[in-house]
Amino acid sequence: MSSLNWTRDGGRLSLQGELDQDFLVPLWDARVEATRGAETIDISAITRVDTAGVALLVHLVALIRAEGRTVHIEGKSEKMTTFVQLYNLPEDALP
């Protein structure tokens, strides 16, 4: 069975596993703590993402920006870029 895990190392929040509706609730519940002090979200170890996962990433970016920090997402896949385009999200929604 797959899952979603995350770790923090300084200003880096690293996500591993499946970023989809079946597994993202624990990260949603911990979103404020998980993003506190983060400047980079590393999604290079994400194996699957759905629209709920994209929505959560957009929310995590907004939380980090609300604390006055610039945020960067590392490891975006072509599928992630396609989601952003299909949903006509602003280019900086997932920087």
pTM beyond 0.85, yes or no: yes
Q: pLDDT tens-digit profile of 8-32?
A: 999 999 999 999 999 999 999 999 9
Neighbours of 10 (CB within 10 A): 9
Using alpha carbons, select from 50, 39, 47 the residue that is nearest to residue 73.
Answer: 39
Q: Does domain 5-93 have CATH number 3.90.1170.50?
A: no
CA–CA dist 80, 65 (Å, integer): 20
User: What's the residue count for the chain?
Assistant: 95
**pLDDT of amino acid 37:** 95
